[in-house]
Amino acid sequence: MSKTSAFDCSILEFSKHHSDSKGNITVVENSYSIPFDIKRVYYLYDIPGGESRGAHAHKELQQLIVAASGSFDVILDDGNIRRSFTLNRPYQGLLMVPGIWRELVNFSSGSVCLVMASMEYLESDYIRDYDEFIKFKAL
Ligand code: TYD
């Protein structure tokens, strides 16, 4: 999965079921809303101001990143071009293909970053060194 481009990543918009009295609900379902089956969910929260997270890439993992609360920016880098997305709507998600270096920055106070992932946690799927990532993209 080394040949992917940042242009392969996109914002998906899910339906929002609204009730004036009860608020909103958004549903993400395997095989229906996203192009992979969710094997793992994790979330980032209580992120101190000015901190960044997730400076790494994955070899095979697909992910959907949602700002469940608040806002943050996701910077994508495929070794050739960089794209930046601001996530600030709980009914939108950034669909990420493998082979993209990504960093999460500018977390607003109280924000929650919800990540739905296609695989269980596997350290060998991570590329945590940027030079190693560039070599991976050249394979
Ligand atoms: P890490 O991926 O380094 O966080 P980030 O890149 O967002 O800064 O993960 C932080 C710690 O959490 C690390 O010790 C591994 C652990 N972890 C798990 O045990 N399971 C998981 O699914 C994830 C995402 C992380």
Does some domain include residue 1? no
CATH number for the domain harbouring residue 130: 2.60.120.10
Atom of ligand 1 nearest to the CA of 56: 6
Does some domain include residue 25? yes
- Give 17 Cα–ligand 1 centroid separation in angstroms: 32
Does some domain include residue 56? yes
| Domain interval for residue 56 | 6-138
Active site residues: 56
- Residues 54 and 101: their CA atoms lie apart, in Å, by 9
Q: Is the pLDDT reported for residue 1 higher than 80?
A: no
Record the pTM: 0.96
How many domains does the chain contain in total?
1
- Residues 3 and 139: their CA atoms lie apart, in Å, by 8
Does some domain include residue 95? yes
Does some domain include residue 74? yes
- Residues 31 and 33: their CA atoms lie apart, in Å, by 6
Q: Is the pLDDT reported for residue 90 higher than 90?
A: yes
Query: Which whole number is the average pLDDT over 81-110?
Result: 98
Q: Is 53 in the pocket of ligand 1 (CB under 6 A)?
A: yes
Atom of ligand 1 nearest to the CA of 117: 22
